[in-house]
Chains A and B, each alone.
Chain A
Amino acid sequence: MGDMSKRRICSFLLTAMVVLLIVETIACTAIGAADISFMDALKAVAFKINFLKGIISKSGIKESTVTIITGIRLPRVILAAFIGSALPVAGASYQGLFKNSLADPYIVGASSGGALGAAIAIIIKSKLGISGFSMVPFFAFAGALISTYVVYILGRIGGKLSITAMMLSGIAVNSMLSAVLSMLLLFNHEQMDQVIMWTMGSLQYAGWEQIEIVAPCIVAGIAVMYFFSRDLNLMMLGEEQAQHLGVNTKKLKKTILFAGAFITGVSVSVSGIIGFVGVFIPHIARILLGPDNRLTIPFSAIFGAMFLMIADSLARTLISPMEIPVGVLTAGVGGPFFIYLLLKNKNSIE
């Protein structure tokens, strides 16, 4: 932090990562059941971008290729990128806020609240015969927010916000909400498949219409987190220190908790519960770049996007034509990593 040359290196690195991210996006769209080359995928994607339309000749690419790439794969890959960037940013911010590298919106109840909200929306929709998508994110967001708020209230019993109390009540709220979700499923078999997807995490219903809703929300959420990244650095010295260095910590806590629940809820509404990305991606960013949140937050977004794009490409191709829910993959990688973190931090969880 502070060192001029270091800052220049970091902005160069960030630019390089963005370029890499775009290349990866194209590469991921080329992966799949139908055999499409990288160049064809690139052309098809370029064709989708309006101002390039005139420059790119469509010769040699089948119409079906363009449809597969821009209609099916590209939205899915892009959605993976957005969600992959949202969850680690929320995680990194919570970790700074709580001064604890294990904190994550999921752990404090946002995921199960979001999933329950989404399930309720799906069931209401089918019961009332409403079509359209927009209700689901709203309910997921409300669910995530309410559960986070409940956990926050439980965590500050006795006046001061205690991390341990908040994490413990997060576990309790998570399991309670999962129980309610299971009950809902029992009584609504028809929506079973769709709701189960939410609990396992999958991007198979991705489409452009989801991106239109989710992308602005996530971009706004990440911007808020970045806006407060310096305050989050001070928070890592301890709440009292942050206060004495001029941070309005009460306001900061509310803003970060709200923004975190917001982007988590919105993500959960389209992808279900994709676990652990929020914990281990920021950790990797910190190992590589140090603890400064002004770096951790943007780089977590990029690393997370890259990671989830690859994970989702694997999820849809590994045992093709069947799909592995991507949440199963990330939990498979993230679970052991989480345990490793727990063991390593055993003495500093308080």
Chain B
Amino acid sequence: MNNQVKNRIKDKLFSIWGWISVSIGIVALAVFIIDILFDGLPVLSFRFLTSLPSRIPEKAGIFTAMMGTVWIFILTAVIAFPLGVASGVYLEEYGIKNRLSKLLEINIANLAGVPSIIYGLLGLEIFVRIFRLGNSILAGSLTLALLILPIIIVSTREAIKAVPQSLRDASYALGATKWQTIWYQVLPASFGGILTGVILALSRAIGEAAPLIVVGALAYVPFAPTSPMDNFSVLPIQIFNWISRPQKGFIQNAAAAIIVLLIITFLLNGIAMYMRNRWQRKMKI
């Protein structure tokens, strides 16, 4: 009896502890967003989205940074998606399972946790200097692609692992080759999970400033980029630059830019969730 009471108290205590933990997170986020909205909303306008950067806060806009972010997003996706998914498929389906592959698996998981600035240094040396790509969008995208490859590889492998053996058996038993089984059965069945991983990785990539600063993204770019070899800026760098200025006007601009970045990330995640749910519904009935 006494024991039962004790257990019930523990149960209650844990649920209170959990509630407090969740609240701390939500309150912090809410305070942050409200603060940002107060500072940024008055500045946010069509003019702000379409103006070039300027020394005068009232004239400054995020057009170049936003276009830079779009360029970086698309190029990074185009580079990282095929490489990451192919690596994940290879490691899971073709790679021999032994101690070496185990070691590789641990290392890939570790790479996902390496600070992004380290990737920036790697990108600076390899893409900017050795490949002579300069401070270009391409160099930045390649660097970010490296940064998110581990996340894509790991989530691809997890998604593939979740495909039931019975599906593969059915395909093999009809005379399908390994590649046909992967292409027609395993990949479609795991695509929802793979997509989730890719989008999460990409929304991390567009929030990065540090590696791009190292690679040589500029805070002031007078024109929107028109090719992968152009100089560029991205939203996080623009925000970082504005926040470090003394004028109140730039702080407000930074807040407005944060709102734009949040909306972009939110939209991307929304699209990802929509696509995943649609795909999974299609695969399930």
A binds B: no
Seen from chain B, the residues whose Cβ lies within 8 Å of a Cβ on chain A are none
